[in-house]
Chains A and B, each alone.
Chain A
């Protein structure tokens, strides 16, 4: 049973990353109509940012949790201003191709300087060790990742669904022209939205740095799984993205315990099943 609980925990952690990344993809898609293929590369940049902060500037994990998403978010906003904004009105496919190119550039540059092997990142002192829960041993850092991701996801949901700013955002997603007519600076909102989505990816990268090592290609395969998560959940609902992300992580964890050979493929197989039964995705509207 110990092993089962351990795999469930790993599943929850992966689920946290799926949730944070698919949430960002959904928010970005809502405003920019772009599937951000660079999301995995920006997640990796978040992890590297934390690594540089610690090893070059001596800035600890807690500050990295704040600084890395901001730095990468600003980088994302520059990308949006200089490149992505020129794609509005074009076929969605061009957004995918452009961000795929950006991902290749970022990952290629990091691979040139850091190879393909992983760099270690220390777990911060306060989160070391573990607690014996009686039925299992819980490493504190892993528990922290799950709880903190959940809090961030819910905070994002609250921001978008329950605040004034979120209401503007949702309105601009539905009808940007009309919202502009009310005097709201929609292009600036688009830039900030991209920054927010990218920041969430970078945050997931920082969280993952102590668990999975910091590697240039750490986001490359992950983003494809997240795409499958997005296809399963649909991008229509914020809460849908969060729940689907965590649920798929748990299912993957269970698969690792019961049938390890299929743990790499279970999310893709589920995607196929969902497409056969309900082509619009679990929460999605017709696209």
Chain B
């Protein structure tokens, strides 16, 4: 059976250098966005989803665990941050921390339950768990059901940065994204990441070498869920609302789609995928449910002809690690 990402190149100094160059290019391009006149709201939204997809990719691309319920971390962190900001009137930094911590706690519990099964069962379990949370949030009073939490105050980060100004907010979101991205990059290239990859390639062998694979998988799950939650907390400041759509299974599907389009198990793929999918939704917003149909077609096309994703194919053509 061929693994999800079967042609990852070995980590060499050259690969590291390529990745660093690509990272620098990405950071510079993103940093000059406010000067170009591109609608910053779109890019901020895409950045939140890019971080979310990168967090998801850490689990599937490097741990071989396809979570079909990652929306639960996005939604949980979003709701908790929104509640903390609006009802408790906490400053933004505390709102982000509390939301991310909530996602982390959720990841500990759901990770402990879902890593008990492998492969396809893992996907079904994470999907069912996120549906469980969806129904809980639908009924819980603090989420305001179908209405969601709206009109969330943005406030002053650290008492200094006025997040109500789009440019300030943009750089804060960008800093959050780049920080999360580097953390994931560091994790992938750490000894922990190497063990994770070995579990993906051949779990029985990793066990026979003495690794407690369940602990590695749980830790990867917690890290992934926490970072997904961080993305959800950032998104609260951009969208200024938290609603049920962020916990719905279709959102989990979109996260999978972004990563699949960009390239499972590639470092920059999820970022590219997130920008493509968010842009597509933006431009096709007037076409109603045809967006769903197009998403379905992209899923089918990717799986049948394009399993490496855009960045995966580019990296293979250039024989570089991206």
Using CB atoms and an 8 Å cutoff, list the residues of chain A in contact with chain B: 29, 35, 83, 86-87, 89-98, 100-109, 111-112, 220-221, 224-225, 227-228, 230-231, 261, 264-265, 268-269, 271-272, 275-276, 279-280, 287
Residues of B close to A108: CB separation below 8 A: 289-293, 295-296
Instruction: Given the known inter-chain contacts A276-B113, A287-B118, please indicate yes or no for A97 contacting B303, CB distance below 8 A.
Output: yes
Instruction: Knowing A108-B293, A227-B127 are in contact, say whether A93-B119 is a contact too (CB < 8 A).
Output: yes
Lowest 8 CB-CB distances: which A-B pairs, in order? Answer: A101-B299, A104-B296, A108-B292, A105-B296, A108-B293, A268-B132, A279-B116, A228-B128
Q: Contact flags (1/0) for B249-270 with A, using CB distance below 8 Å?
A: 1000100100010000000000
B3 smallest CB distance to A (angstroms): 6
Q: Give the total number of A-B pairs whose CB atoms are below 8 A apart.
A: 136
Taking CB atoms, residues of chain B closer than 8 Å to A97 are 256, 260, 299, 302-303
Taking A96-B68, A103-B296, A268-B132 as known contacts, 7 extra A-B pairs with beta carbons closer than 8 A to each other, sorted by chain A number, are: A89-B2, A95-B120, A97-B260, A102-B296, A104-B292, A112-B290, A230-B124
Whether A86 and B117, one on each chain, are in contact in the complex, defined by CB atoms closer than 8 angstroms, is no
Tell me the complex Cα distance, A131–B270, Å: 59
- What's the dominant secondary structure at chain B's contact region? helix
Q: Are A224 and B131 in contact (CB under 8 A)?
A: yes
Q: Decide if A98 touches B303 in the complex (CB within 8 Å).
A: yes
> Residue of A at shortest CB range from B253?
A100
Question: Across the interface, do A96 and B66 meet the contact criterion of CB distance under 8 Å?
Answer: yes
Nearest-CB distance from A21 to chain B (Å)?
A: 13
List the B side residues contacting A89 at CB < 8 Å.
1-2
Are A275 and B132 CB-contacts (below 8 A) given A83-B300, A83-B304, A97-B303? no
Q: Assess the B249–A224 pair: CB atoms within 8 A.
A: yes
Instruction: State whether the Cβ of B190 lies closer than 8 Å to any Cβ in chain A.
Output: no
A-side interface mostly: helix
The yes or no answer to B4 lying at the interface (CB within 8 A) is yes
Verify if B288 is at the interface (C-beta below 8 Å from A): yes
Give A94 to B1 CA distance when docked, in angstroms. 12
Give the docked Cα–Cα distance between A269 and B120 (Å). Answer: 19
CA distance A109 to B295 in the complex (A): 12
Q: Tell me whether A98 and B131 are in contact (CB under 8 A).
A: no
- Expressed in whole angstroms, the minimum distance between the Cβ of B58 and any Cβ of chain A is 16
Choose from B120, B127, B295, B300 the contact partner of A92 (Cβ within 8 Å): B120
